[in-house]
Every structure is written in C-alpha cells, then in structure tokens.
C-alpha cells in the first residue's frame, strides 16, 4: 500500500470521528525489528493522519538503557551516560545536549503514553532506521563499534569534502552515505540527506543500501576461491556444471566473468519485469534467454551482461553444495566482519534500510523488489559504506585468496571501448589521478560505486538511494578533492519566470538526435514539456530563456537559434555528454 493511500485512509478515519486510540490498533500489523530481532511492544506503533509513523518512546528508551524522568508540564527527560534529551509533549522541538532539533512532527501522548516520530530515533537516539511501507516493517539498528585497526586511524571529517557533500545535498538533492580513506586513514565517513524523505529518517554511516552490480566483485571472488580449492577451473566450459544449458560447450567461466559470453542480457528483456517475485528461482530468469541465439561468438566481443553473473551464482551453488547466499556469508561476509551486508530478500527476507527513489530534484519512491530478488550474482546484495571499506582493506591482503588470484581478478582482459578494461567483477582504467579499479552499481532505486585509486592507496565509496545517479563522476570528484586537484563546486539551479509564454512557440517541435531517438517539445497552459522517444513527457523549467532543466533527472536542454531568431536545434546535456538534436521542419 502506498504512503499516499495510507494517509488518505487515515484522513477519512479522523473525519468520521473514530477515537484516536483506535488509530493505535490500526497499526497492530506493523512489524518491529530491533537489531535483527523481532520485538513485541507494549504499545503499538501507528501511522498518524499525516502518514508519519509514531513510535512508543518508553519501550525503546528502556531497552537502550535510558532513564526517564517526568518533569511535569508535559516535559520529559531521557538520559544515559552519553546524552540528555528533553522532550515536550505537543511540540516538535527537542533539546539534545543543549542543542535544539526540530523533528518537524509533534511528539504526542496517547492514553498516557509518549509517541515520537521516526526522526526522533534517527536524530536524537542516533539509531539506523529503515521503514518499509510495502511490508509495514520497521527496522532499527544501534550503531556498531568499528574495532578494526583501519577504523581507529580516523582523522576527523575533512571540511572541504564535507562542505562539498553538504552542497550536493542542498543543491542537487543527494541522499546517501560516503566513506573516503587514504593510506588506511578514514578521512570522511558520513551519511547525507534522508533514508526516507516522508518519515524524515536520516542516512547514517551504517545505513544499508542495495549495491546493484557492485555485487559482481563478490561473485567473482567466490569463483576465485573455488578455483584455488580446485573445485572448478576458470577455463571450464559451463556445460560441465549446467549440462542442459544451450551453447554451454562453447562458453567458459572466464567468458561469464568478463562479459564475453555472447549471451542475451536478461535484465534488458521486458518479460523479466513481468516475472513473479513471490518465490524467485534463477531458472526462471535463465529460461528467458536459454532459447535465444548468441549475440556473438564467445570470447570475441565485450557486452555487459547480467546473465553471465546470474549463471556464475548458479555454478557456485552447484559446486559448493550450498546456496549462493550461504556461501557469501560463510566465506566472505563472516570472515570480514561484514555484519551489515547480505542478500536482498534472501533466506531471512532481509532488505536495505533506505527507501528506494527515482528522480533528481523531485524524488518518487519506487518498488525495487522484482529486480533485487532476481538479480542473483549480478546484483542482489545490500551493504554499507563501512562494510565495503572492510572489503576494500581485505583486497590488499591474502585473507580471502592468494595474491596470484588477486592479480588475476584485477587484470584487464578485454577493452570496453573507451571505458578501460574489464577484469573479474572490476573495471580498470588509467586516469589523471592514476590507476583506478572500480565498479558502479545501479538498480531501480539505488546507485553505488567503490573506487580504488591504487597509486595513492585511496578508496572512495558512494552509496545512494537514488536511481541513475552518476556515482562514477562523484567518486572521481571526491578523489580529486582529497588529492588537492581542481574541482567544480555544486551551485544552485535558479528557476526564472518567463513572462511572455509565447516564447515557447518557437521551441515547439520534434528534434532528431539520431534515427529512432527524438525529443518532442510541447507547450501547454503556460508550461513547456519534453518527451523522449518511448518515454513519458516531463516538464522542463527555465534557467534562462534558452536553457531549461529537468527535475526528474539530472539533465538540461538548451535551444539554439539561427541568425533569423528561429530555433534550429537543441542540445541535451546529461551525464557529461552533449547530444545535438536537429529541429524537423
């Protein structure tokens, strides 16, 4: 059920005059998970008339070791050895260690019990909080101590890096978590923006995000572990492990690892998104492509293909005798103390904390379950920036595999046509900052990147609950700041008012970028819209009389005029690329 629908239902409840305590009963199905354990509350959490989840404070405060003092006049103090929190019933302002914080939702009392919004748990109690509207479940985790040596060398927040990220959140609506470390010193480890915008839940350093194709490097590591144990061989044909798979006698494990198999990419097929996700099986997605011809002879070309890594996770299960999820936990996550990393919608139905969003300046919550539950070894993991840093540190050791295997993982095997080379689950390229080994990840509502600048022993980890975010450029900019290189500071986009809307008439028309890719500009009721071939139309907003920006994606359109003042073309600026569209007469 959507947040908006829940809010409407609750509005009708209030209008009809149902007693307020009945609202508490309406929330009886909300599941509370505290530090991975389902807990029963003496008083139920519930959604208020604005769709904000209200939580019974005493139940949680006592579990966390706070002492509670009723001061009269609707004033309550919660305190422990580390902090003091003053709360006033009926107000949204609290005082945390003499600092005022506005929760933006009033604290209330119901039947003599104090209820707080989730922003209190996030801001005042410094808890990692995740609210899943679809399953009506609330996940709460206490911040874990990082005991490893490489976390102890924290040198404090780098002001320049932090300022950049604050501006990025302010001007470009960045929501996510960042970790940057150089030569074993953690320079920045911080959450920005919101894990859930509607509930005002803040992102933390231990907020869990889906990481999409960053999963592939873990799948590749599992394969290399099995190769070292001689349980398989990289050059084996996949027919050895999947006897009934078409063309299995011509495709090797190496081909799957390097995207040179020639197989059709199943996540590009429309029928993939029509699959049932109730009881997903890897066979279901593989059946979508099994009977389709190869796109090229294995080993002759590079084409990014999620099918290959789904097959690799199937091979891992066949060889190891356990599920892909169990293998990762026992052989990678557990040895590296990656307690906040797992498989989305796996055995225990674990998911990320952060709500998935699509958009840019305007964000829309999206359902990512179909993709995440059926991405398998190609992209079904969630993690945190801190757990990925544990992974990063292990890659400089022989804790998981020997150096010879690591060298094979980070070797470039095939040219990606200007993007560098592809190894086993990693991209390798030369930059002005030195050699970079990285991999991005993207799902319907998340974007991720882990970038390792080898020459500088510099690691940048970016996780965000926004789809389509250019994490590769962001990681490179943050690395540039760290190394004292030049960079561009985020600036606000200022929307201007177009007083004479007749201006838009000159822009209306079709613009051909290339055959099959057209942008259609229309004007309706004083507003201007752009529609790309095969997509919905979206309003664009004037930055100047010639330049317009989207709010749904990070992109701009600039109209170009001829000497006679008539528009001849437009320029689409997106992801650092400028595409010219010629106006059709």
| Residue boundaries of the structural domains of the chain | 3-141, 209-405, 501-583
Angle, CA 259 vertex, CA 346 and CA 345 arms, to 5°: 10
10 vs 13: CA distance, rounded Å: 5
Q: How many CB atoms are closer than 10 A to CB 168?
A: 21
- Spell out the residues 6+ positions from residue 367 whose beta carbon is closer than 8 angstroms to its own: 134, 356, 444
Q: Which of 14, 78, 75 is nearest to 46 (CA)?
A: 14
Among the CATH numbers 1.10.287.610, 3.40.50.2000, 3.40.710.10, 3.40.50.1450, which is that of 209-405? Answer: 3.40.710.10
Q: For residue 370, which phi and psi values (nearest 5 degrees)?
A: -60, -45
466 vs 195: CA distance, rounded Å: 10
468 vs 470: CA distance, rounded Å: 6
Alpha-carbon dihedral sign for residues 166, 172, 174, 180: negative
Whether this model's pTM surpasses 0.85:
yes
513 vs 526: CA distance, rounded Å: 26
Hey, is 53 helix, strand or coil? strand
Q: In tens digits, what is the pLDDT along the chain, a chain of 585 residues?
A: 233 322 322 222 222 222 223 233 334 478 999 998 998 888 889 999 999 999 999 888 888 899 988 877 789 999 988 899 999 999 999 999 989 999 999 999 998 899 999 999 999 999 999 999 888 999 999 999 999 999 987 666 689 999 999 999 999 999 999 999 999 899 999 999 999 999 999 999 999 999 999 999 999 999 999 999 999 999 999 999 999 899 999 999 999 999 999 999 999 998 988 887 677 788 888 889 988 999 999 999 999 999 999 999 999 999 999 999 999 999 999 999 999 999 998 877 778 899 999 999 999 999 988 888 899 999 999 999 999 999 999 999 999 999 999 999 999 999 998 889 999 999 999 999 999 999 999 999 999 999 999 999 999 999 999 999 999 999 999 999 999 999 999 999 999 999 999 999 999 999 999 999 999 999 999 999 999 998 899 999 999 999 999 999 889 999 999 999 999 999 999 877 899 999 998
Q: Which of 2, 109, 15 is nearest to 58 (CA)?
A: 109
Cα distances from 351 to residues 45, 197, 319, 339, 369, in angstroms, run: 20, 18, 27, 13, 9
By DSSP bridging, strand 577-583 and strand 567-574 are antiparallel
Q: How many CB atoms are closer than 10 A to CB 174?
A: 22
- Range 501-583: architecture per CATH: Beta Barrel (2.40)
Helix axis angle, 215-228 to 306-320, nearest 10°: 40
By DSSP bridging, strand 93-96 and strand 99-102 are antiparallel
246 vs 372: CA distance, rounded Å: 26
What CATH class does 3-141 carry? alpha beta
- On the question of a common fold for 209-405 and 501-583, the answer reads no
């Amino acid at each position: 059920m959507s947040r908006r629908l829940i809010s409407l239902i609750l509005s009708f409840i209030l209008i009809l005059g149902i007693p307020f305590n009945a609202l508490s009963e309406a929330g009886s199905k909300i599941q509370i998970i505290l530090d991975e354990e389902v807990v029963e509350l003496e008083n139920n959490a519930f959604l208020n008339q604005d769709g904000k989840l209200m939580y019974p404070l005493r139940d949680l405060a006592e579990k966390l070791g706070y002492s509670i003092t009723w001061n009269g006049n609707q004033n309550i103090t919660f305190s422990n050895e580390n902090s003091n929190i003053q709360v006033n019933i009926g107000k949204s302002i609290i005082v945390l260690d003499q600092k005022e914080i506005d929760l933006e939702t009033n604290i209330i009392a119901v039947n003599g019990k104090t209820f707080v919004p989730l922003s209190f748990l996030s801001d005042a109690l410094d808890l990692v909080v995740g609210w899943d509207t679809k399953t009506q479940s609330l996940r709460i985790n206490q911040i874990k101590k990082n005991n490893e040596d490489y976390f102890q060398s924290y040198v404090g927040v780098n002001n320049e890096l932090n300022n950049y990220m604050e501006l990025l959140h302010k001007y470009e609506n960045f929501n996510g978590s960042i970790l940057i470390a150089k030569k074993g010193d953690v320079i920045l480890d911080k959450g920005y923006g919101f894990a859930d915008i509607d509930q005002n839940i803040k992102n933390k350093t231990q907020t869990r995000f889906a990481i999409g194709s960053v999963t592939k490097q873990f799948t590749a590591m599992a394969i290399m572990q099995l190769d070292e144990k001689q349980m398989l061989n990289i050059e084996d044909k996949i027919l050895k492990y999947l006897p009934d798979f078409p063309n299995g006698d011509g495709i090797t494990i190496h081909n799957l690892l390097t995207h040179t198999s020639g197989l059709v990419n199943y996540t590009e097929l429309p029928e993939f998104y029509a699959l049932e996700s109730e009881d997903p099986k890897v066979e279901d997605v593989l059946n979508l492509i099994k009977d389709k011809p190869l796109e090229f002879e294995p080993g002759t070309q590079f084409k990014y293909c999620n099918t290959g890594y789904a097959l690799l996770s199937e091979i891992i299960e066949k060889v190891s005798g356990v599920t892909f999820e169990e293998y990762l936990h026992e052989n990678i996550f557990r040895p590296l103390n990656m307690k906040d990393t797992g498989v989305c919608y796996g055995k225990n139905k674990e998911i990320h904390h952060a709500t998935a969003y699509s958009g840019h300046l305007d964000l829309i919550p999206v359902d990512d379950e179909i993709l995440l539950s059926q991405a398998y070894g190609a992209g079904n993991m969630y993690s945190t920036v801190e757990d990925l840093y544990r992974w990063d540190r292990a890659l400089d050791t022989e804790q998981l595999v020997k150096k010879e295997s690591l060298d094979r993982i980070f070797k470039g095997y095939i040219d990606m046509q200007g993007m560098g080379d592809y190894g086993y689950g990693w991209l390798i390229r030369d930059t002005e900052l030195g050699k970079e080994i990285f991999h991005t990840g993207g799902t319907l509502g998340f974007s991720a990147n882990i970038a390792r600048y080898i020459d500088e022993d510099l690691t940048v980890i970016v996780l965000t609950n926004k789809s389509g975010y250019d994490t590769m450029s962001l990681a490179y900019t943050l690395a540039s700041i760290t190394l004292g290189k030049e960079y561009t500071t985020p600036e606000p986009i200022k929307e201007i008012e177009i007083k004479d809307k007749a201006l838009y008439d000159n822009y209306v028309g079709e613009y051909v970028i290339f055959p099959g890719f057209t942008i259609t500009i229309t004007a309706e009721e004083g507003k201007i819209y752009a529609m790309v071939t095969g997509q919905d139309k979206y309003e664009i907003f004037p930055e100047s009389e010639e330049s317009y920006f989207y709010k749904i994606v990070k992109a701009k359109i600039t109209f170009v005029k001829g000497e006679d003042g008539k528009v001849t073309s437009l320029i689409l600026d997106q992801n650092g690329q400028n595409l010219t569209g010629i106006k059709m007469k």
